Structure 1
Amino acid sequence: MEKSLKKYFPIFAGPTLIAFLIAFIVPFFMGLYLSFTKFSTLTDATWVGTKNYANAFGGESGFVHALWFTVLVCAISVVTVNLGAFCLAYLLTRKLRGTNFFRSVFFMPNLIGGIVLGYTWQVMLDAVLQRWDQTIINDWRMGLAGLIMLVNWQLMGYMMIIYIASLQNVPPELVEASQIDGASKWQTLRNVTIPIVMPSITICLFLTLANTFKMYDQNLALTDGNPLKHTQMAALNIVSLMYDKPGKAWHGVAQAEAVVFFILVSIIAVLQLRATRSKEIDA
């Protein structure tokens, strides 16, 4: 049986592996090579060594500031999105009236495209801020708040669905046993419910982190990095450097930034997964 399965493995897995090779592996190594060159097209690349990486972390590219701003947005969003999503999921699993309606309402923003979300929130926030002669792009703190609100509005409903599915699988006999032992609702939540749903917390933290860290279209539509690129996140900085800066030398710098960005996202994601999975083991 095992030999027959191995025989058909290339037939079933082959197309997926070929697509992965063409769409990810080959472009990744081509991009890695181009990050050490000065180029305008793939055929005129000139080797410059680590110069692009030095320029990427120089002041003119704005990459370092964009990274710090991205980390700030991610740090706040990961906490607010998951805390809000878990609270919503907890309330909507209490057998209240209209829970199905509210689940649908909270999930709907996740179905809207990032560009549409960005322009929608820009119009709404500017309408409010105009009372104080402000706009979303006048102050970087306004832009930061707007981005965080947008991320919460888009992702909270999706994470809520995952938490609801996990909370519904908590064995009711464990909850009843803790209540019989005299545990309060908070003690039951902390010592019984949360350890059981920890795998879902791991997934939601990872999804929020990944989606927020590589956010581009929402950032472009909401603030476009204004004022003076103070609200420019890393993905927007890379694309802007590639297409807006004159001269092919900046293409290599943008490619170097993309490689650094990929490595940083991978490291952060691995560390986050290891940290939360250790909680699952303890549970």
Structure 2
Amino acid sequence: MTNRIIRRWWPAFALPTFLAFVFGFIAPFIIGIYLSFTSFTTITDAEWVGVENYILAFQDPVFLHALGLTALFAIVTTIIINVAAFFIAYMLNKAIRGAKLFRSAFFLPNLIGGIVLGYIWQLLLNGVLSQWGLSLVLDVKYGFIGMVIVTCWQSIGYQMIIYIAGLQAIPDELIEAAAVDGATSRQITFRIIVPLMMPTVTVCSFLTLTGGFKMFDANLALTGGAPSDSSAMLALDIYKTFYGRIGFEGVGQAKAVLFLIIVGVVALIQNAATRSREVES
């Protein structure tokens, strides 16, 4: 009876979601790719220019610098966040007093919006740097370090929750059997726990790596790309090109398409690498 009802009425439930997906994602996505090959100020006055926008994008030194800076940022934050999140999850997964309170405290920064968080940390970091006559926008290295600090502080708690779920899924019998066989804590960690945690590592590294490439809010709030756009990462550079440079809307759209391709390729490579590690484990 239930299956008959589902077969009869499934369009009433599926079609609204499907239509929303088509008009809210697929159609803008296709239009965006088309616009990347045109010169336009609005959709109605787009003129086909071919690959000129892509050539201009690759000739833009700010874009190339932003690409390198974003790649470095994604790698650094992925390593720091995952190592710290796994260590904290490992410690808080044990039966210690106040573990739930500490989990909540580490997770709370994830609930704060990126723009708000960026401006709060801008005041804090500039207040500290001012003791030496420095600021986040004085040099790209200060802005970069500031963005790493903010991103790690916000993201570690979220990844910690995922790692705790992975740790709790490991059968206690395996760890107990290893301890009975004389395995040390170090051997249990690196020979049993870490290999069994590889599916969780795949998920967390995927989230942090793609999140690092897509970082925008903290970049805008902390430095705004200063000085001279040297601290602007890909998302902010695309935003500034599209909205801040008259006549470069098509170039900004081309950069957005390139950004999509780069993030997609990086995500596929990372996923394949960690998946192969899972099989080995």
Aligned to 2:222: 222
Comparing 195-204 with 217-226, greater Cα deviation is found at 195-204
Confirm whether residue 162 of structure 1 aligns to residue 169 of structure 2.
no
Instruction: Give 1:13 shift.
Output: 2.0
Q: Could you give the per-residue CA deviations for residues 201-250 of structure 1, whole angstroms, max 9, x where no partner exists?
A: 1111111112221111110000111111111010000010111112x2x0
Amino acid of the structure 2 residue aligned with 1:260 = L
Separation in 1, partners of 2:67, 2:3:
49
Aligned to 1:147: 147
Separation in 2, partners of 1:240, 1:218:
15
Aligned to 1:24: 25
Instruction: Give 1:2 shift.
Output: 7.1
Structure 2 unpaired stretches of 5+: none
- Residues 67-86 of structure 1 correspond to what in structure 2 (within 5 A)? 67-86=67-86
Separation in 2, partners of 1:20, 1:94:
43
- Residues 94-173 of structure 1 correspond to what in structure 2 (within 5 A)? 94-173=94-173
User: Structure 1 stretches (4+) deviating beyond 6 angstroms?
Assistant: 1-4
Cα 1:194–1:6 change in 2 (3 A) is farther
Instruction: Give 1:163 shift.
Output: 0.6
Q: Secondary structure at the match of 2:176?
A: helix
Identity score, percent: 46
TM-score with structure 2 setting the length: 0.96
Aligned to 1:57: 58
Give the length in aligned residue pairs.
280
Confirm whether residue 40 of structure 1 aligns to residue 41 of structure 2.
yes
Instruction: Give 1:5 shift.
Output: 4.8
Aligned to 1:174: 174
Separation in 1, partners of 2:3, 2:257:
40
Instruction: Give 1:197 shift.
Output: 1.8
Amino acid of the structure 1 residue aligned with 2:102 = F
Confirm whether residue 256 of structure 1 aligns to residue 254 of structure 2.
yes
Amino acid of the structure 1 residue aligned with 2:52 = K
Q: Secondary structure at the match of 1:278?
A: helix
Q: Secondary structure at the match of 1:105?
A: helix
Amino acid of the structure 1 residue aligned with 2:257 = V
